[in-house]
Structure 1
Amino acid sequence: MHSEIRLRQAQMNEKEIIWNILQQAIERRRQDGSTQWQQGYPNHGTVESDISKGFGYVMTVDNEIAVYAALILNDEPAYSTIEGAWLSNGEFVVVHRVAVDEKFAGRGIVKALFDHIEDFTRSHGIQSVKVDTNYDNTAMLKILESKGYSYCGEVFLAGGVRKAFEKIII
């Protein structure tokens, strides 16, 4: 049986479901021994802010929310200073706060998310996708490598140094 997978903007009435998924991800990072997301960010206010600004996106599997991500167009002040170099300086989509519901973990769902994000980027005529992650987030690092993202250097975000990646879409 084939599941229906969709990427769409999150709605304010879904913020509790999304916050729940983020809390699961925060706890998973802690159990993995990671420092990422362990200082009170992201939090409930982050989710509300994302949704109200139109940055919050959910990927649904048969209408059930499986993944949350913030997709931000051309705006990540931290990316203007990189130890290294981006592949491009055109328009870009920034991917932040990727979190998977435990029910959907281990099913390649984040790879599917990146496929959908790349389709979204292409359909909006945007040149590339930029993303950063913690040096100890091995799951995300493997996904980015498998999806053909290039390591561009390091960026500094609240909470520390992150590995920065980019993929040219058009």
Structure 2
Amino acid sequence: MTHDQLLFRPAAEADLGRIMEIIRAAQARMRARGSSQWQNGYPAATDIRRDIERGYGHLLAEAETGLTVAYGAVLFEGEPAYEAIEGRWLTTGPYVMVHRLAVAEERLRQGVARRFMQRVEALALTRGIGSFRVDTNFDNAGMLALLAEAGFVRCGEIRYGAEHREAFEKVLRRQ
């Protein structure tokens, strides 16, 4: 299946079951690799339901079957934790960010996460947003590789309570 056959759309309540299957499989993969990320019950169905209600939840689905193959929360409102970065962001203006990105087990290593990120970039540009920020755990090798490949620059660390995350930014256009 080509990536052009993947539809990017807002998630709906009816998608919650499939999204949670994808999230649970991602949690198990992280656990198997020894990662501490997503091992404390997060993200739970309540987190995803809240994403959907707020309009943050987005997914990639196969055009032909409608099957969801990736999920992520796309936010344009900013992230309070990003204000206290230990380091320095590349830009100072508005930005888009992604949280809770996960790809279906059967679609791993097929460029699905990269396609999701590309669709988020395109959405941001249509809204006049020229910056894309992301954070991830220091041991999330898959996400770290995706960010490097996609041209994100490590800007420092941010904290969620006692947990540290690597912080990245990609300039989509000059601000």
Q: Provide the TM-score with structure 1 as the length reference.
A: 0.96
Counterpart residue number, 1:79: 82
Distance 1:53 1:159, change over 3 A: farther
Moved more, 58-67 or 34-43: 58-67
Counterpart residue number, 1:169: 172
SS in 1 for 2:125: helix
Measure the CA separation in 2 of the matches of 1:159 and 1:122. 34
Runs of 4 or more, structure 1, over 2 Å off, are none
SS in 2 for 1:6: strand
Question: Which of 138, 141, 151 pairs up with 1:135?
Answer: 138
Q: Is 1:33 aligned to 2:10, yes or no? A: no
Counterpart residue number, 1:7: 8
SS in 2 for 1:24: helix
Q: Can you give the 5+ residue segments of structure 1 that lack an aligned partner in the other structure?
A: none
Measure the CA separation in 2 of the matches of 1:157 and 1:4. 36
Shift of 1:148: 0.3
Counterpart residue number, 1:156: 159
Q: Is 1:145 aligned to 2:164, yes or no? A: no
Measure the CA separation in 2 of the matches of 1:76 and 1:7. 23
Shift of 1:61: 2.2
Measure the CA separation in 2 of the matches of 1:123 and 1:64. 26
Shift of 1:74: 2.9
Distance 1:82 1:11, change over 3 A: same
Measure the CA separation in 2 of the matches of 1:145 and 1:168. 13
Count of paired positions: 170
Measure the CA separation in 2 of the matches of 1:117 and 1:6. 12
**Aligned-residue CA RMSD in angstroms?**
1.2
Amino acid at match of 2:93: G
Counterpart residue number, 2:60: 59
Counterpart residue number, 1:23: 24
* Residue-by-residue CA offset, 1:90-131 (whole Å, 9 max, x unaligned): 111111000111111111111111111111111111121100
Q: Is the 8 A contact 1:39 1:159 kept in 2?
A: no
Amino acid at match of 2:77: N
Distance 1:50 1:67, change over 3 A: same
SS in 2 for 1:14: helix
Measure the CA separation in 2 of the matches of 1:159 and 1:16. 31
SS in 2 for 1:114: helix
Q: Provide the TM-score with structure 2 as the length reference.
A: 0.93
Q: Can you give the 5+ residue segments of structure 2 that lack an aligned partner in the other structure?
A: none
